[in-house]
């Protein structure tokens, strides 16, 4: 998941974390808290399937 053209986050990995965990883990990039939150939101959206899975049919 690209962010600002310089940062490329693993969206699948980020989707399994809370926002706080993601921000703490990626704090070393020099992004502001707001930017990290924005990146996290983008990762969550990118990792979400575009179409919800079909419900299982009863046997």
Partner 1 sequence: MSTNLCALIGGNTGRIDCDGKRRTPAILIVGSKEFTSSDYADEATLYAAIQTAINQSNGTSGKLFPFPEIGEVADATVAATSGNLALGPSRQLTKERPGYTYSVEIGHSLFQKLLVFHNKEVPVITLDSANQMWFYKNSTNGNIRGEIALITVSGNGFENGTDATTGVCTIGVSYKSVDDFQKKSAFWPFSATVAPGDFQGLKDVTLTEVQAHAANVYKIGLRIPTAQVGATLNPWDEIGAAVAALTFTAGTGASYGTPLTITSVAADNTLDCLTVTFDSTAHTALPALTEIKLIPPTVAVMAAAGLVGYELGSIIVSK
The residues of the shown chain that bind partner 1, judged by CB under 8 A, are: 2, 5-10, 13-14, 25-26, 28-29
Tokens at 40, concatenated: 């996290």
The nearest distance, CB 5 to partner 1, in angstroms, is 7
CB nearer to partner 1: pick between 6 and 54: 6
Cβ atoms < 10 Å from Cβ of 36? 22
CB nearer to partner 1: pick between 6 and 51: 6
CB nearer to partner 1: pick between 8 and 58: 8
Residues in the chain: 59
């Amino acid at each position: 998941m690209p962010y600002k053209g310089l940062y490329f986050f693993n969206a699948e990995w980020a989707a399994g974390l809370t926002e706080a965990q993601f921000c703490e883990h990626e704090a070393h990039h020099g992004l502001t808290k707001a930017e990290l939150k924005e990146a996290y939101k983008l990762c969550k959206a990118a990792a979400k399937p575009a179409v919800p899975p079909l419900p299982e049919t009863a046997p």
